[in-house]
Amino acid sequence: MQQRGIPPLVVTWLLEFGQMRYDHQGGIVYYFDRHSRRNLERVVGSRVVARLSDYLNAYIVSSTSDEAVVTVGHRYRRFNLG
């Protein structure tokens, strides 16, 4: 998280508001999509989201067994949802 430059607040928001997808390899991927960003704006306000929008292209991979965070990174491409 620190090496990637992603604030802990964004990680908390991802776990709380982010879209969740299973990666079929024993992990869960959390990321922001249009709906999750909108829900985040309703709770924390649009100014806060606009100010931290550079960090909202992040994702988290957590383990399905113990829900520990495995890795955190930046999204540069869309996830393959198919």
18-59 pLDDT, tens digit each? 999 888 887 888 998 889 999 999 999 999 988 888 888 888
Is 1 domain-assigned?
no
Is 61 domain-assigned?
yes
**Structure tokens given for 20:** 């969740």
Q: Count the helix, strand and coil residues of the chain and give each as a percent rounded to the nearest 5.
A: 35, 25, 40
Split at pLDDT 50, 70, 90, the class of 77 is low
Number of Cβ within 10 Å of residue 24's Cβ equals 6
pLDDT at 16 over 70: yes
Is 2 domain-assigned?
no
Q: What is the pLDDT of residue 59?
A: 87
- For the chain, counts of helices (H) and of strands (E): 3, 4
Domain range enclosing 47: 8-74
26, 64 contact by CB (below 8 A): yes
Q: What is the pLDDT of residue 2?
A: 55
Is 57 domain-assigned?
yes
In total, how many domains does the chain have?
1
Q: What is the pLDDT of residue 62?
A: 84
Is 28 domain-assigned?
yes
